[in-house]
Each structure stands twice: as C-alpha cells, then as structure tokens.
Amino acid sequence: AQKITQTQPGMFVQEKEAVTLDCTYDTSDPSYGLFWYKQPSSGEMIFLIYQGSYDQQNATEGRYSLNFQKARKSANLVISASQLGDSAMYFCAMREVNYGGSQGNLIFGKGTKLSVKP
C-alpha cells in the first residue's frame, strides 16, 4: 500500500499568492516524522521543513509552513507569497521511527511539480 500520496502531479500559482501542496500518509507507527523537500530544475534535493508526530504545533520555516492534521493523516505544505524561484518539484516524505528506528529511511511520495507564473 502506498504510504505517501501526493495527488497533484502539477500545479500552477500566481506570483505572490499562497499555494498548498497536498500530502497524505499511511502508517500504524505512533511515532513518525514528516518531511518536505524541494527539487529545482538543477536537480539537487533541498530539505524544507519537518513535522514530528507528537509536535503540538504546526512547523514553520520562513515562507513554508506545514498544515499537520493528524486525524486525517495529512501534512500539507503551504508556501506563502510565492516567488518565481519556488518553481520546482516538491516531495513529501515520512520516516517511521519505531519500524525504522530514529535513523530509519525515508519513504517518498511521487512529487508535485509547482510552476509559479509571473
């Protein structure tokens, strides 16, 4: 069964507007971590933001925030005030702590390609 689902293969957003990239996950591990990565056209993988399953507050990093809804098993990435440089692939990933240990590998979704229009 797919553990990380990103249902939006591609999205467009107008520059300076906010955009939400969807991510749902499936796990029976009570302890897990959720990550978002950005991959620009140059190809490198850039870590953006992390949310732990026991964190009480939604994570924020600058213009990035993670809308964590534990009961719905969703971890959507919100980018505020989009910039042209935000155009990239975005990957949601999960680490199951108990099944993989604190150093367990990441399970990735298939990604969402975001295009920011001027």
Query: Ramachandran region of residue 85, left (φ > 0), alpha (ψ -120 to 50) or beta?
Result: alpha
Q: Which is nearer to other proteins, 81 or 101 (CB)?
A: 101
Q: Binding of other proteins at residue 44 (CB under 8 A)? A: yes
* Shortest spacing between CB 43 and other proteins, in angstroms: 5
Binding mask 50-89 for other proteins (x = CB under 8 A): x-x-------------------------------------
d(C-alpha 117, C-alpha 82), whole Å: 9
Q: What is residue 85's DSSP assignment? A: G
